Protein backbone atom coordinates (compact mmCIF):
# COMPACT_ATOMS: atom_id res chain seq x y z
CA UNK A 1 0.00 0.00 0.00
CA UNK A 2 1.37 3.40 -0.96
CA UNK A 3 2.17 5.63 1.94
CA UNK A 4 0.40 9.01 1.98
CA UNK A 5 2.59 12.07 1.69
CA UNK A 6 3.04 14.00 4.94
CA UNK A 7 2.20 17.65 4.80
CA UNK A 8 0.10 17.39 1.63
CA UNK A 9 -2.48 19.88 2.84
CA UNK A 10 0.26 22.19 4.10
CA UNK A 11 1.89 22.04 0.67
CA UNK A 12 -1.32 23.12 -1.02
CA UNK A 13 -1.76 25.98 1.43
CA UNK A 14 1.85 27.04 0.87
CA UNK A 15 1.27 27.07 -2.90
CA UNK A 16 -1.81 29.25 -2.43
CA UNK A 17 0.04 31.61 -0.07
CA UNK A 18 2.98 31.94 -2.50
CA UNK A 19 0.65 32.66 -5.42
CA UNK A 20 -1.44 35.23 -3.53
CA UNK A 21 1.63 36.90 -2.03
CA UNK A 22 3.30 37.16 -5.43
CA UNK A 23 0.09 38.51 -6.96
CA UNK A 24 -0.33 41.08 -4.18
CA UNK A 25 3.30 42.21 -4.49
CA UNK A 26 2.98 42.51 -8.26
CA UNK A 27 -0.23 44.52 -7.98
CA UNK A 28 1.41 46.84 -5.45
CA UNK A 29 4.32 47.40 -7.84
CA UNK A 30 1.90 48.00 -10.68
CA UNK A 31 -0.13 50.47 -8.59
CA UNK A 32 3.00 52.38 -7.59
CA UNK A 33 4.20 52.58 -11.19
CA UNK A 34 0.72 53.56 -12.41
CA UNK A 35 0.28 56.38 -9.92
CA UNK A 36 3.82 57.62 -10.42
CA UNK A 37 3.14 57.85 -14.15
CA UNK A 38 -0.23 59.48 -13.56
CA UNK A 39 1.27 62.05 -11.21
CA UNK A 40 4.03 62.73 -13.73
CA UNK A 41 1.34 63.51 -16.33
CA UNK A 42 -0.39 65.98 -14.02
CA UNK A 43 2.92 67.53 -12.98
CA UNK A 44 3.79 68.17 -16.61
CA UNK A 45 0.46 69.93 -17.08
CA UNK A 46 1.03 72.07 -13.99
CA UNK A 47 4.48 73.03 -15.14
CA UNK A 48 3.12 74.22 -18.48
CA UNK A 49 0.32 76.06 -16.69
CA UNK A 50 2.77 77.91 -14.43
CA UNK A 51 4.83 78.92 -17.46
CA UNK A 52 1.75 80.35 -19.14
CA UNK A 53 0.42 82.13 -16.09
CA UNK A 54 2.95 84.95 -15.91
CA UNK A 55 2.74 85.65 -19.63
CA UNK A 56 -1.05 85.81 -19.56
CA UNK A 57 -1.11 88.17 -16.59
CA UNK A 58 1.32 90.50 -18.34
CA UNK A 59 -0.60 90.32 -21.61
CA UNK A 60 -4.05 90.92 -20.13
CA UNK A 61 -4.09 94.05 -18.01
CA UNK A 62 -6.35 94.31 -15.02
CA UNK A 63 -8.33 96.96 -16.86
CA UNK A 64 -9.73 94.34 -19.16
CA UNK A 65 -11.38 92.71 -16.12
CA UNK A 66 -12.90 95.91 -14.73
CA UNK A 67 -14.33 97.68 -17.80
CA UNK A 68 -16.02 97.01 -21.09
CA UNK A 69 -13.24 98.69 -23.04
CA UNK A 70 -12.33 96.17 -25.72
CA UNK A 71 -9.52 98.16 -27.27
CA UNK A 72 -6.96 95.93 -28.99
CA UNK A 73 -9.28 93.04 -28.33
CA UNK A 74 -8.42 91.13 -31.47
CA UNK A 75 -4.70 91.60 -30.89
CA UNK A 76 -5.01 90.17 -27.37
CA UNK A 77 -7.10 87.30 -28.66
CA UNK A 78 -4.45 86.53 -31.23
CA UNK A 79 -1.75 86.46 -28.57
CA UNK A 80 -3.78 84.08 -26.45
CA UNK A 81 -4.34 81.81 -29.43
CA UNK A 82 -0.63 81.74 -30.19
CA UNK A 83 0.16 81.02 -26.56
CA UNK A 84 -2.41 78.23 -26.45
CA UNK A 85 -0.80 76.54 -29.44
CA UNK A 86 2.75 76.96 -28.13
CA UNK A 87 1.88 75.57 -24.70
CA UNK A 88 -0.34 72.85 -26.19
CA UNK A 89 -3.37 74.04 -24.23
CA UNK A 90 -6.79 73.02 -25.46
CA UNK A 91 -8.60 76.15 -24.19
CA UNK A 92 -7.29 79.35 -22.60
CA UNK A 93 -9.70 82.04 -21.45
CA UNK A 94 -10.46 84.72 -18.86
CA UNK A 95 -13.64 85.33 -16.87
CA UNK A 96 -15.11 87.39 -14.05
CA UNK A 97 -18.30 87.69 -12.03
CA UNK A 98 -20.83 90.31 -13.07
CA UNK A 99 -23.02 92.40 -10.76
CA UNK A 100 -25.49 89.52 -10.43
CA UNK A 101 -22.79 87.03 -9.52
CA UNK A 102 -22.95 85.31 -12.90
CA UNK A 103 -19.78 84.21 -14.69
CA UNK A 104 -18.90 86.44 -17.64
CA UNK A 105 -16.30 85.24 -20.15
CA UNK A 106 -14.01 87.95 -21.46
CA UNK A 107 -11.26 86.65 -23.69
CA UNK A 108 -10.39 83.24 -24.93
CA UNK A 109 -7.70 81.65 -26.97
CA UNK A 110 -9.93 79.11 -28.62
CA UNK A 111 -10.47 79.02 -32.37
CA UNK A 112 -13.68 81.04 -32.03
CA UNK A 113 -12.54 84.50 -30.91
CA UNK A 114 -15.90 86.14 -30.64
CA UNK A 115 -16.26 87.91 -27.29
CA UNK A 116 -18.17 85.77 -24.80
CA UNK A 117 -18.73 82.98 -27.32
CA UNK A 118 -16.90 80.36 -25.29
CA UNK A 119 -18.07 78.81 -22.05
CA UNK A 120 -16.20 76.02 -20.24
CA UNK A 121 -17.66 72.56 -20.15
CA UNK A 122 -20.56 72.17 -17.76
CA UNK A 123 -18.67 69.55 -15.75
CA UNK A 124 -16.07 72.12 -14.63
CA UNK A 125 -17.97 75.45 -14.54
CA UNK A 126 -18.36 75.14 -10.77
CA UNK A 127 -14.57 75.06 -10.37
CA UNK A 128 -14.29 78.42 -12.18
CA UNK A 129 -17.00 79.95 -10.00
CA UNK A 130 -15.25 78.64 -6.88
CA UNK A 131 -12.00 80.26 -8.01
CA UNK A 132 -13.69 83.66 -8.57
CA UNK A 133 -15.53 83.58 -5.24
CA UNK A 134 -12.79 82.20 -2.98
CA UNK A 135 -9.81 83.74 -4.73
CA UNK A 136 -7.68 80.60 -4.73
CA UNK A 137 -6.11 78.36 -7.34
CA UNK A 138 -8.33 75.44 -8.29
CA UNK A 139 -6.65 72.33 -9.57
CA UNK A 140 -7.30 68.66 -8.91
CA UNK A 141 -5.28 65.50 -8.77
CA UNK A 142 -7.59 63.99 -11.35
CA UNK A 143 -8.81 64.22 -14.89
CA UNK A 144 -12.42 64.89 -15.83
CA UNK A 145 -14.34 62.76 -18.30
CA UNK A 146 -16.51 64.99 -20.50
CA UNK A 147 -18.53 64.54 -23.65
CA UNK A 148 -15.70 66.21 -25.58
CA UNK A 149 -12.92 64.07 -24.13
CA UNK A 150 -10.70 63.76 -21.08
CA UNK A 151 -9.85 67.18 -19.64
CA UNK A 152 -7.62 68.50 -16.88
CA UNK A 153 -8.45 72.09 -15.90
CA UNK A 154 -6.61 74.68 -13.80
CA UNK A 155 -8.00 78.06 -12.67
CA UNK A 156 -6.09 80.79 -10.92
CA UNK A 157 -7.44 84.13 -9.67
CA UNK A 158 -6.31 87.60 -10.79
CA UNK A 159 -6.08 90.34 -8.13
CA UNK A 160 -5.94 94.12 -8.30
CA UNK A 161 -3.55 96.15 -6.25
CA UNK A 162 -5.90 95.96 -3.26
CA UNK A 163 -5.72 92.14 -3.35
CA UNK A 164 -9.31 91.93 -4.51
CA UNK A 165 -10.29 89.18 -6.94
CA UNK A 166 -11.22 90.83 -10.23
CA UNK A 167 -11.19 87.79 -12.49
CA UNK A 168 -9.70 84.41 -13.26
CA UNK A 169 -7.66 82.73 -15.96
CA UNK A 170 -8.74 79.27 -17.01
CA UNK A 171 -6.68 76.59 -18.75
CA UNK A 172 -8.11 73.35 -20.07
CA UNK A 173 -5.82 70.60 -21.27
CA UNK A 174 -7.23 67.95 -23.55
CA UNK A 175 -5.40 64.81 -22.43
CA UNK A 176 -7.65 62.31 -24.20
CA UNK A 177 -5.00 60.80 -26.46
CA UNK A 178 -2.29 60.74 -23.81
CA UNK A 179 -4.57 59.36 -21.12
CA UNK A 180 -6.04 56.73 -23.47
CA UNK A 181 -2.57 55.57 -24.47
CA UNK A 182 -1.51 55.58 -20.84
CA UNK A 183 -4.49 53.46 -19.78
CA UNK A 184 -3.96 51.04 -22.66
CA UNK A 185 -0.29 50.62 -21.78
CA UNK A 186 -1.35 50.07 -18.17
CA UNK A 187 -3.84 47.39 -19.19
CA UNK A 188 -1.30 45.65 -21.41
CA UNK A 189 1.29 45.85 -18.67
CA UNK A 190 -1.16 44.38 -16.17
CA UNK A 191 -2.01 41.53 -18.55
CA UNK A 192 1.68 40.84 -19.13
CA UNK A 193 2.32 41.00 -15.41
CA UNK A 194 -0.56 38.60 -14.74
CA UNK A 195 0.89 36.18 -17.28
CA UNK A 196 4.30 36.35 -15.65
CA UNK A 197 2.72 35.77 -12.24
CA UNK A 198 0.83 32.73 -13.51
CA UNK A 199 3.97 31.27 -15.06
CA UNK A 200 5.92 31.95 -11.89
CA UNK A 201 3.17 30.43 -9.75
CA UNK A 202 3.06 27.27 -11.86
CA UNK A 203 6.84 26.90 -11.69
CA UNK A 204 6.85 27.59 -7.94
CA UNK A 205 4.02 25.09 -7.41
CA UNK A 206 5.85 22.39 -9.37
CA UNK A 207 9.08 23.02 -7.48
CA UNK A 208 7.25 23.09 -4.14
CA UNK A 209 5.42 19.89 -4.99
CA UNK A 210 8.69 18.23 -5.97
CA UNK A 211 10.42 19.12 -2.74
CA UNK A 212 7.40 19.09 -0.43
CA UNK A 213 7.63 15.47 0.70
CA UNK A 214 11.27 15.50 1.90
CA UNK A 215 10.89 19.06 3.16
CA UNK A 216 7.84 18.44 5.33
CA UNK A 217 9.06 15.05 6.38
CA UNK A 218 12.22 16.72 7.65
CA UNK A 219 10.31 19.63 9.12
CA UNK A 220 7.51 17.79 10.95
CA UNK A 221 8.41 14.10 11.01
CA UNK A 222 12.12 14.15 11.85
CA UNK A 223 13.77 13.75 15.25
CA UNK A 224 16.65 16.23 15.12
CA UNK A 225 18.76 14.56 17.82
CA UNK A 226 19.04 11.13 16.20
CA UNK A 227 18.08 11.91 12.59
CA UNK A 228 15.42 9.20 12.60
CA UNK A 229 11.68 9.73 12.27
CA UNK A 230 9.80 10.90 15.37
CA UNK A 231 6.67 9.95 17.31
CA UNK A 232 4.40 11.90 14.94
CA UNK A 233 5.68 9.91 11.98
CA UNK A 234 5.29 6.69 13.97
CA UNK A 235 1.65 7.42 14.83
CA UNK A 236 0.95 8.31 11.21
CA UNK A 237 2.50 5.05 10.00
CA UNK A 238 0.78 3.02 12.72
CA UNK A 239 -2.64 4.08 11.41
CA UNK A 240 -1.64 3.01 7.92
CA UNK A 241 -0.37 -0.32 9.23
CA UNK A 242 -3.83 -1.05 10.62
CA UNK A 243 -5.17 -1.15 7.06
CA UNK A 244 -2.20 -3.19 5.90
CA UNK A 245 -2.75 -5.76 8.66
CA UNK A 246 -6.46 -5.98 7.83
CA UNK A 247 -5.52 -6.90 4.26
CA UNK A 248 -3.67 -9.96 5.54
CA UNK A 249 -0.09 -8.68 5.41
CA UNK A 250 2.17 -9.50 8.35
CA UNK A 251 2.93 -6.41 10.48
CA UNK A 252 5.39 -6.61 13.39
CA UNK A 253 6.26 -3.96 15.97
CA UNK A 254 9.59 -3.89 17.79
CA UNK A 255 9.97 -1.69 20.87
CA UNK A 256 13.39 -0.73 22.31
CA UNK A 257 14.11 1.07 25.55
CA UNK A 258 17.58 2.29 26.50
CA UNK A 259 18.87 1.15 29.86
CA UNK A 260 20.23 3.63 32.38
CA UNK A 261 19.73 6.97 30.60
CA UNK A 262 19.03 8.68 33.94
CA UNK A 263 22.29 7.37 35.37
CA UNK A 264 24.23 8.66 32.37
CA UNK A 265 22.59 12.07 32.65
CA UNK A 266 23.30 12.23 36.36
CA UNK A 267 26.92 11.11 35.99
CA UNK A 268 27.98 12.91 32.80
CA UNK A 269 25.33 15.53 32.07
CA UNK A 270 22.56 15.76 29.50
CA UNK A 271 24.88 16.52 26.57
CA UNK A 272 26.62 13.16 27.04
CA UNK A 273 23.19 11.62 27.58
CA UNK A 274 22.20 12.86 24.13
CA UNK A 275 25.34 11.28 22.66
CA UNK A 276 24.45 8.03 24.42
CA UNK A 277 20.93 8.14 22.91
CA UNK A 278 22.27 8.89 19.41
CA UNK A 279 24.94 6.18 19.46
CA UNK A 280 22.59 3.56 20.90
CA UNK A 281 19.97 4.39 18.24
CA UNK A 282 22.58 3.99 15.50
CA UNK A 283 23.57 0.55 16.79
CA UNK A 284 19.93 -0.59 16.87
CA UNK A 285 19.34 0.77 13.37
CA UNK A 286 22.46 -1.05 12.15
CA UNK A 287 21.15 -4.36 13.46
CA UNK A 288 17.79 -3.83 11.75
CA UNK A 289 19.62 -3.87 8.41
CA UNK A 290 16.73 -2.22 6.61
CA UNK A 291 14.14 -4.75 7.75
CA UNK A 292 11.80 -1.99 8.87
CA UNK A 293 11.27 1.70 9.53
CA UNK A 294 12.96 3.01 12.66
CA UNK A 295 11.48 5.72 14.95
CA UNK A 296 12.33 7.57 18.13
CA UNK A 297 9.01 7.57 20.00
CA UNK A 298 10.17 8.91 23.37
CA UNK A 299 13.15 10.24 25.27
CA UNK A 300 14.91 6.87 25.45
CA UNK A 301 12.38 4.73 23.61
CA UNK A 302 12.52 3.60 19.98
CA UNK A 303 10.33 1.49 17.72
CA UNK A 304 10.61 -0.33 14.44
CA UNK A 305 7.82 -1.42 12.10
CA UNK A 306 8.41 -4.34 9.75
CA UNK A 307 5.98 -5.53 7.10
CA UNK A 308 6.07 -9.03 5.65
CA UNK A 309 9.17 -9.95 7.68
CA UNK A 310 9.64 -13.54 8.86
CA UNK A 311 9.50 -14.01 12.64
CA UNK A 312 12.95 -15.63 12.71
CA UNK A 313 14.51 -12.49 11.22
CA UNK A 314 12.88 -10.33 13.88
CA UNK A 315 14.10 -12.65 16.63
CA UNK A 316 17.57 -12.65 15.09
CA UNK A 317 17.70 -8.86 15.48
CA UNK A 318 16.68 -9.04 19.14
CA UNK A 319 19.20 -11.82 19.83
CA UNK A 320 22.00 -9.86 18.17
CA UNK A 321 21.18 -6.77 20.24
CA UNK A 322 21.37 -8.81 23.47
CA UNK A 323 24.86 -10.00 22.47
CA UNK A 324 26.06 -6.54 21.43
CA UNK A 325 29.28 -5.63 23.30
CA UNK A 326 30.19 -2.30 21.72
CA UNK A 327 30.40 0.86 23.80
CA UNK A 328 27.70 3.45 23.35
CA UNK A 329 29.97 6.08 24.89
CA UNK A 330 33.47 5.67 26.31
CA UNK A 331 33.12 3.05 29.09
CA UNK A 332 29.32 2.79 28.79
CA UNK A 333 28.36 -0.51 27.19
CA UNK A 334 25.45 -0.62 24.75
CA UNK A 335 22.38 -1.73 26.64
CA UNK A 336 18.72 -1.75 25.71
CA UNK A 337 15.64 -3.80 26.44
CA UNK A 338 13.50 -4.98 23.53
CA UNK A 339 10.18 -6.61 22.80
CA UNK A 340 8.16 -7.46 19.71
CA UNK A 341 4.66 -8.49 18.68
CA UNK A 342 2.97 -9.34 15.38
CA UNK A 343 -0.60 -8.44 14.48
CA UNK A 344 -2.83 -11.47 14.98
CA UNK A 345 -6.38 -11.53 13.72
CA UNK A 346 -8.86 -12.49 16.41
CA UNK A 347 -6.45 -11.40 19.13
CA UNK A 348 -5.66 -7.84 18.15
CA UNK A 349 -8.42 -5.40 17.32
CA UNK A 350 -5.99 -2.71 16.16
CA UNK A 351 -2.31 -1.86 16.02
CA UNK A 352 -2.69 -0.37 19.50
CA UNK A 353 -3.11 -3.89 20.85
CA UNK A 354 0.05 -4.96 19.03
CA UNK A 355 1.90 -1.96 20.46
CA UNK A 356 0.80 -2.85 24.01
CA UNK A 357 1.95 -6.47 23.67
CA UNK A 358 5.33 -5.40 22.26
CA UNK A 359 5.72 -2.80 25.02
CA UNK A 360 4.88 -5.35 27.71
CA UNK A 361 7.44 -7.75 26.23
CA UNK A 362 10.05 -5.00 26.31
CA UNK A 363 9.46 -4.34 30.01
CA UNK A 364 9.74 -8.04 30.78
CA UNK A 365 13.07 -8.05 28.96
CA UNK A 366 14.21 -5.02 30.97
CA UNK A 367 13.39 -6.77 34.25
CA UNK A 368 15.17 -9.93 33.14
CA UNK A 369 18.28 -8.02 32.03
CA UNK A 370 18.45 -6.14 35.32
CA UNK A 371 18.21 -9.32 37.37
CA UNK A 372 20.88 -11.06 35.30
CA UNK A 373 23.28 -8.17 35.68
CA UNK A 374 22.85 -8.06 39.47
CA UNK A 375 23.48 -11.80 39.73
CA UNK A 376 26.63 -11.52 37.62
CA UNK A 377 27.98 -8.81 39.90
CA UNK A 378 27.34 -10.74 43.10
CA UNK A 379 28.85 -13.99 41.80
CA UNK A 380 31.98 -12.62 40.13
CA UNK A 381 33.14 -10.09 42.69
CA UNK A 382 33.49 -7.49 39.91
CA UNK A 383 33.73 -3.75 40.12
CA UNK A 384 31.27 -1.48 38.33
CA UNK A 385 32.23 1.22 35.85
CA UNK A 386 28.66 2.22 35.18
CA UNK A 387 28.47 5.28 37.41
CA UNK A 388 25.49 4.05 39.41
CA UNK A 389 23.37 1.73 37.24
CA UNK A 390 23.83 -2.06 37.27
CA UNK A 391 22.47 -2.41 33.74
CA UNK A 392 25.34 -0.31 32.38
CA UNK A 393 28.13 -2.27 34.05
CA UNK A 394 31.22 -3.15 32.14
CA UNK A 395 32.35 -6.16 34.18
CA UNK A 396 35.97 -6.27 35.21
CA UNK A 397 37.45 -8.91 37.52
CA UNK A 398 38.98 -7.59 40.76
Which of the listed ranges 71-75, 253-257, 262-266 does the model predict with the highest average pLDDT?
Answer: 253-257
Look at residue 3 and tell me if it is in a domain: no
Render pLDDT for 280-335 as a digit per residue (tens, 0 to 9).
Answer: 999 999 999 888 899 999 999 999 999 998 889 999 999 999 899 899 988 888 99
pLDDT of residue 398: 31
Residue 292 placed within a domain = yes
- Same domain for 163 and 237? no
Where a domain ends, among 180, 201, 216? 180
Q: Residue 212: what pLDDT?
A: 57
User: Does residue 226 carry a pLDDT above 50?
Assistant: yes
Quote the CA–CA distance of 216 and 15 in Å, as a whole number. 14
Q: Which of 211-225, 262-276, 334-348, 361-375 has the lowest mean pLDDT?
A: 211-225
Q: Specify whether 120 is located in the same domain as 260.
A: no
Contact 90, 172 (CB under 8 A): yes
Q: Check pLDDT > 70 for residue 236.
A: yes
pLDDT at 306: 94
- 77 closest CA partner among 111, 120, 121: 111
Of residues 237 and 85, the one with the higher pLDDT is 237
Structural domain contains residue 206: no
Last residue of a domain, one of 165, 180, 195: 180
**Of the candidates 180, 215, 240, which is a domain's last residue?**
180
Same domain, 35 and 134: yes
Q: Is the confidence at residue 233, as pLDDT, over 50?
A: yes
What is the number of domains present in the chain? 2
Position 28 pLDDT exceeds 90: no
Asked which of 113-117, 241-245, 274-278, 393-397 is least confident by mean pLDDT, the reply is 393-397
CA-closest candidate to residue 374, choices 389, 363, 360: 389
For 283, phi then psi, to 5°, come to: -65, -45
Residue 307 belongs to a domain with what CATH number?
3.30.70.270
C-beta pairs of 327-333 under 8 Å, 24+ apart in sequence = 327/394, 328/276, 328/279, 328/280, 328/283, 329/264, 329/268, 329/272, 329/275, 329/276, 329/279, 331/385, 331/394, 332/260, 332/264, 332/276, 332/386, 332/392, 332/394, 333/392, 333/393, 333/394
CA distances from 68 to 71, 105, 250, 267 (A): 9, 12, 112, 112
Asked if 51 and 118 sit in the same domain, the reply is yes
17 and 108 within one domain: yes
Region 194-206: what's the mean pLDDT?
74
- In percent, the amount of the chain with pLDDT more than 90 equals 24
Domain co-membership, 165 together with 47: yes
Alpha carbons 168 and 159: distance in angstroms, whole number: 9
**Residue closest to 95 by CA, chosen among 142, 123, 130:** 130
CA 159 to chain centre: 58
Distance, in Å, from the CA atom of 233 to the CA atom of 238, rounded to the nearest integer, reads 8
pLDDT at 17 over 50: yes
pLDDT of 367 > 70? The answer is yes
Nearest CA-CA partner of 156 in 238, 95, 78, 101: 95
90 shares its domain with 165: yes
| Structural domain harbouring 369 | 231-397
The answer to whether residues 164 and 236 belong to one domain is no
The enclosing domain of 41 has a CATH number of: 3.30.450.20
Which one has a higher pLDDT value, 354 or 201?
354
Is 92 among the domain residues?
Answer: yes
User: Quick one: 236 and 88 in the same domain?
Assistant: no
> Do 14 and 84 share a domain, yes or no?
yes
Give the tens place of pLDDT for each residue, 131-180. 888 988 888 767 777 777 788 888 888 888 888 888 888 888 877 777 77
Start-to-end CA span in the chain (Å): 57
* pLDDT > 70 fraction of the chain, expressed in percent and rounded: 71
| Confidence grade of residue 101 (pLDDT, cut at 50, 70, 90) | confident
Mean pLDDT value of segment 360-371: 85
Q: Is 101 exposed, middle or buried (0-12, 13-18, 19+ CB in 10 A)?
A: exposed
pLDDT score for 149 = 77
Amino acid sequence: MERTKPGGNITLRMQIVITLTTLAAALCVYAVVFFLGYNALLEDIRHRANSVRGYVENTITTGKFTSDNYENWEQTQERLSELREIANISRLYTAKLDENGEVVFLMNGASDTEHGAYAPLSEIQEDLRQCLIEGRIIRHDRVIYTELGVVHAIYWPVFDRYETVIGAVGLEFDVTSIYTAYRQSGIYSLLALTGIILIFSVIASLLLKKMSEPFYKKLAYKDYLTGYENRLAFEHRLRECGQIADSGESVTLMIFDLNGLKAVNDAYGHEIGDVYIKNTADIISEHLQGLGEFYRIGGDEFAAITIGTAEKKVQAVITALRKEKRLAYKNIVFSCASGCATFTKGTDKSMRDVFKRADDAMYEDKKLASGTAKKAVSESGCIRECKGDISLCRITQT
